[in-house]
Amino acid sequence: MRRSGRLHTPELAVLVSPPSGAPATIQLRAPGPGMFVPWVAQGDLIAPGSDLGELVVLGRASVLVVPRAAGPLTAGGLALRLPPAVHPVDYGDVLVEIGPASTTWEIAERCWPAGSATSWGGAMSSWPA
């Protein structure tokens, strides 16, 4: 969700590194140098098209967005490692490291808690507990 006053701020897509390591984490990297202002916290659900924060370059802020598709990759999962505060970054520096949610159900449960009414396939239903 955009912060107030930021609706028309330019957007930059972050760079996506392919999964690596045993837990298969994906690294979202800086598209250029500047000051990174994170808008997400550890454990937040990161989905394609979501806003990660701002990249401030010479006083001008651009919103950093997770690309909807990065070739064969679709970057989405839970934020595992990210900086706690504003800090300088260079091209290719790791902004956020995300790990896959264990299942699609886990992602859905984070978005729609058990027992809440959701629209699924055009019909209103209750999420199974």
125 assigned to some structural domain: no
pLDDT surpassing 80 at residue 109: no
Residue from 6, 105, 10, 8 nearest 57 by CA: 10
pTM higher than 0.75, yes or no?
Answer: no
Mean pLDDT, the chain, integer: 76
Q: Which residues contact 18 (CB under 8 A, 6 or more apart)?
A: 26, 73
Residue numbers of the domain that contains 81: 11-101
**Within-domain flag for 48:** yes
Please report, for the domain that includes residue 44, its CATH number. 2.40.50.100
- Classify residue 86: in a domain, yes or no: yes
- Give the per-residue pLDDT at 19: 73
Q: How many domains, in total, are found in the chain?
A: 1
Task: Say what the pLDDT of residue 91 is.
Answer: 95
In a domain, 126, yes or no: no
Residue 92 lies in a domain: yes
**49-99: pLDDT as tens digits:** 899 999 999 999 999 998 887 556 667 788 888 887 899 999 999 999 888
- The verdict on residue 16 lying in a domain is yes
